[in-house]
Amino acid sequence: MLRLSTKGQYGVRAMFEIAKGYPEPVTIKEISEKQNVSMAYLEQILNKLRKSDLIISKKGPGGGYVLNKNPQEISIAAILNELEGPVAITSCLDPSEGCVRVDNCVTHLLWKVLGEQISAFLNTITLKNLLTGDLLEVPAGQSVRATKSKA
Amino acid sequence: MLRLSTKGQYGVRAMFEIAKGYPEPVTIKEISEKQNVSMAYLEQILNKLRKSDLIISKKGPGGGYVLNKNPQEISIAAILNELEGPVAITSCLDPSEGCVRVDNCVTHLLWKVLGEQISAFLNTITLKNLLTGDLLEVPAGQSVRATKSKA
DNA sequence: AAATACTTGACAAAATTAGTAGGTTTTTAT
DNA sequence: ATAAAAACCTACTAATTTTGTCAAGTATTT
């Protein structure tokens, strides 16, 4: 459950390749070869990311894609938001849809909090973290909800 | 992104209704009316939950479904696991599939950690929490990754 | 025996995902 | 100027998953 689509997965991997080359342009062909994703499919993905100003494109020989910010300023959340929309565990919680039941829905708050936790997590991880691999430093035992405080 | 299917959503809501009636049996018809889901669809869902021993069914007049444990012993994670399988952000991370790339996949660890965080969260929430509504007590500002410790 | 409720399996419409195909435009180097 | 390298754009389609419905049974209690 809670699968990410290939667009999101490939998108992050593509951004990783572009981050590796930063600040030099990286071509679709290179990304395609290194990440083993078809050029045509990558085009669609990078197109979206370009329109949201996460990357800049340069045409012609020597061209390619370049990050529009430093790797540490681009979060995984930002990438996925562009490619898959905001985290929305239920359609209810998608800002573009809206909830009919709302008040009498016991699970509404549950999914809302879960979504917020996921977003918070993805916001703290940047391309820099992927480059240096320091994701490993997340304490294994740390729970999202280790303690419960009174409201 | 990261949508839960209706099966998972309805499943949790159905379990909530059964928990509300606990320890008296609750019929499919009641659940259907209160949660506004078709009886036929609910049957499929409850069938799965019964096979995994989360609930017990009683036939005949006065029958219905009953929780097989106390509400505080049934986590949301347990319900969703039965209906949608384990949390697996990528197919790579689904134990029933497996990853070809693994070692050279920079994002593998990222999705693994995210999945673990989600599972940890869902494991801490029980039907009891849904009944009493004390989900509200989760501190709003608490981040999954507030501090970074050295490995 | 009648009422009530659960069981099973097949089927199908709708939506989403995943990817292909083919042509256009811009830039650079010769 | 011209050719090559690269990104850009639009449409289409095949496959898969989701979201259910339907119908004919089976089991239990009163």
Confidence of residue A135 (pLDDT cuts 50, 70, 90): confident
> Model pTM greater than 0.85?
yes
Distance of alpha carbon B30 from alpha carbon B130, whole angstroms = 18
Contact between the CB of A56 and strand D at under 7 Å? no
Using DSSP's 3-state secondary structure scheme, residue B85 falls into coil
Using DSSP's 3-state secondary structure scheme, residue B36 falls into coil
A137 touches chain B (CB under 8 A): yes
For chain A, give the percent of residues with pLDDT over 90: 75
Q: A13 CA to D28 C1', in Å?
A: 57
The pLDDT tens digits for B60-98 are 888 889 999 999 999 999 999 999 999 999 988 887 777
Q: Where are the beta strands (DSSP E) in chain A?
A: 55-58, 64-67
List the one residue out of B57, B54, B58 whose CA is nearest residue B16. Answer: B54
CB A114 within 8 A of CB B118: yes
Helix-helix angle B28-35:B39-51, to 10 degrees: 120
The pLDDT tens digits for B8-57 are 999 999 999 999 998 889 999 999 988 999 999 999 999 999 888 899 98
Encoding tokens for residue B45?
Answer: 């869902």
Encoding tokens for residue A55?
Answer: 């990357």
The residue with greater pLDDT, A121 or B137, is: A121
List the one residue out of B68, B91, B114, B111 whose CA is nearest residue A118. Answer: B114
What residue has its CA nearest to the C1' of C17?
A5
The pLDDT tens digits for A106-127 are 899 999 999 999 999 999 999 9
Q: B7 CA to D19 C1', in Å?
A: 9
* Alpha-carbon distances, residue B85 vs B16, B76, B91, B123 (angstroms): 20, 12, 12, 14
Residues A62-90: what's their mean pLDDT? Answer: 96
Q: How many CB pairs under 8 A join A and B?
A: 150
B96 touches chain A (CB under 8 A): no
- Is the pLDDT at A149 greater than 70? The verdict is no
Contact between the CB of A29 and strand D at under 7 Å? yes
Least confident of A19-23, A28-32, A85-89, A134-138: A134-138
Encoding tokens for residue B67?
Answer: 């929780």
**Using the beta-carbon criterion (under 8 Å), do A124 and B144 form an inter-chain contact?**
yes
Most confident of A43-47, A93-97, B29-33, B63-67: A43-47
Distance of alpha carbon B85 from alpha carbon B95, whole angstroms = 10
B99 touches chain A (CB under 8 A): no
Distance of alpha carbon B134 from alpha carbon A148, whole angstroms = 10
Residues for chain B: how many in total?
151
What residue has its CA nearest to the C1' of D20?
B41
